[in-house]
């Protein structure tokens, strides 16, 4: 694989560089993204909190109806 040179990268506009970053990121599989133990612990904690709080939430339709009543 031939990498882009610094000059070639510098000629790209910021939106083009961001699009390239996005394409590269999206090309990675979950298993290819290394996580530290603290990162994995934090993700596990957030997932557990999400699962726990899921039953206390409301649907989008209910929230939308409430907002429409408050802000006609």
22 found inside a domain = yes
Phi/psi of residue 55, each to 5°? -75, -15
29 found inside a domain = yes
Number of domains in the chain: 1
Q: Distance of CA 66 to CAs 26, 43, 54, 57, 61, Å?
A: 37, 31, 19, 14, 9
Flag whether pLDDT at 72 surpasses 80: no
Query: Three-state DSSP class for 17?
Result: helix
pLDDT in tens, 36-48: 999 999 999 999 9
Report the predicted TM-score, pTM, of the whole model to 2 decimal places: 0.48
40 found inside a domain = yes
49 found inside a domain = yes
1 found inside a domain = no
């Amino acid at each position: 694989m031939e990498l882009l040179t610094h000059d070639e990268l510098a000629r790209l506009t910021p939106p083009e560089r961001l699009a390239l970053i996005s394409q590269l990121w999206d090309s990675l599989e979950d298993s290819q993204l290394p996580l530290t133990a603290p990162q994995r612990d934090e993700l596990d904690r957030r997932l557990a909190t999400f699962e726990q709080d899921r039953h206390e939430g409301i649907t989008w339709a209910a929230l939308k109806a409430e907002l429409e009543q408050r802000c006609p």
